[in-house]
A and B are shown apart, each in its own frame.
Chain A
Amino acid sequence: MYDFEYRRVGSIAEAQAALAGGSSSKLLAGGMSLLPVLKQRLARYDGIVDLGGIATLRGIHRDNADLVIGAMTTHATVAASALVAQSIPALAALAAGIGDPQVRNRGTLGGSVANADPAADYPAALLALDARIVTQRRVIAAEVFFRGLFETALEPGEIIQAVHFTLPQRAGYAKLRQSASRFALVGVFVTRTHAGVRVAVTGARDSVFRWREAEAALAADFRPAALARLALPSSGLNADIHASAEYRAHCVQIMAQRALAAALEPPS
């Protein structure tokens, strides 16, 4: 890892000030993706601005119909939260399946969302739940937030503060884990809300996307049988040593059925 100037900040204003200035600086959340990237010298920054000291970025609360999760809330906290389990159990289950226990103790919601890894779990939840990403400047809908491979709508200097989730009537997530990395080979998050059905897929393209045909089928009939005859075309899907595009297409269909089965489970 190349050396850098480390700054630990206590507020969003301090973080903004640290990011301003001429040199290239990067925000550090839990570091579970950024630090490995720095170690491999895939990226180099003059400054690292650590958000770990900003207490107001951590925490989970209800705001009327919304579940609000602070950007620096760890996956372990989301997974163990009674409020999340009661509000959106599929989100707690998703957080409990990220990485491993040690990674979940450091990795954060905001870090995962800002990084926009094409195989990360949270982007599927945000897109399917029509979440809003709140920064110090504006509110961004998940629909327009995830733009491509590690690319988001965030502008330079923009800091995610929290994510707002509207509670769904039904939600379920299923992923096929890449067994070494534990990222999603493919993952599918299915929701039904007052606005309709959403089916968000991660791991299969350069960025999370909605499977519109599945949404239309489930809007007409929210049961596994509605998905049985659908097939996601494999053209344009990711292919690597772990899975071909055809295999990923097949797995999306299977994971969608499993996510739907999870969404249909009676609340425990």
Chain B
Amino acid sequence: MPVVSMQVNGQTVRAAVEGRTLLVQFLRETLSLTGTHVGCDTTQCGCCTVHLDGAAVKSCTVLALSCEGAAVTTIEGLASERGLHPMQAAFREHHALQCGFCTPGMVMSALAIVSRCGPDLDQATIRRELEGNLCRCTGYHNIVKAVQAGAAAMKEADRP
């Protein structure tokens, strides 16, 4: 089997995979990073969103071997010894989840929105930019509030 190596959450990882192995399978099954979820498996729901060389992608629709040499950040890569990332803390504070299944993808997309659009986000921008992520419980209101608050907290903390 071919071997792939990449940086995941700052650590170099290397493993044998099949040609057809998806990035999300590699993360979940090979690396046991099960924070990245598989919702639809059809590039719709965004639960599997991770950052690939800084850009948000749906890891259910990327081959692991296409990520040779790349840097991947998953939900597990956000919190530090000081605690949750400000965006994660905002999701908790604003009750931006019910079942929580979509939350890792929402948080990863939220961070990508801040990096694309800056920390001063209005609600219309957040709703438009979150269109690649589906939530089937919250009705989105609290997610939008959390993204706005998380972005403001990141600006305050001067933290990417």
Contacts and interface: CB of A to CB of B under 8 A. Distances in A.
B19 A3 contact: yes
B123 interface: no
B49 A6 contact: no
A5 to B, nearest CB: 6
Nearest to B58: A102
Interface in B60-88: 61-63, 65-66, 68
Given A2-B20, A3-B18, A180-B44, A102 B63 contact: no
A6 B43 contact: no
Contact of A76 (B2, B44, B55): B55
Among A50, A102, A180, max chain B CB count under 10 A is at: A102
B132 A6 contact: no
B112 A101 contact: yes
Interface string A82-106: 0000000000000000011111011
Contact of B66 (A2, A28, A102): A28
A102 B50 CA distance: 9
A28 B55 CA distance: 19
A8 B68 contact: yes
A65 B129 CA distance: 34
Interface string B4-46: 0000000000000011101000000000000000000111101
A101 to B, nearest CB: 5
Q: How large is the interface on A (under 10, 10 to 19, 20 to 34, 35 or more residues)?
A: 20 to 34
B120 interface: no
Given A3-B18, A6-B2, A32-B43, A106 B57 contact: yes
Given A3-B20, A6-B2, A38-B20, A102 B49 contact: yes
A13 B46 CA distance: 36
B6 to A, nearest CB: 13
B46 A102 contact: yes
A105 B113 CA distance: 13
A29 to B, nearest CB: 11
Contacts of A3: 18-20
Would you call the interface of chain A mostly helix, strand, loop, or mixed?
Answer: mixed
A239 interface: no
A1 B20 contact: yes
A5 B17 CA distance: 11
Contact of A101 (B19, B22, B52, B132): B132
B131 A100 contact: yes
Nearest to A181: B44
Among B52, B56, B66, max chain A CB count under 10 A is at: B66
B159 to A, nearest CB: 22
Contacts of B52: 105
B109 interface: yes
Nearest to A45: B19
Given A2-B20, A6-B19, A31-B61, A102 B2 contact: no
A50 to B, nearest CB: 6
A31 B56 contact: no
Interface of B: 2, 18-20, 22, 41-44, 46, 49, 52, 55-58, 61-63, 65-66, 68, 109, 112-113, 116, 129, 131-132
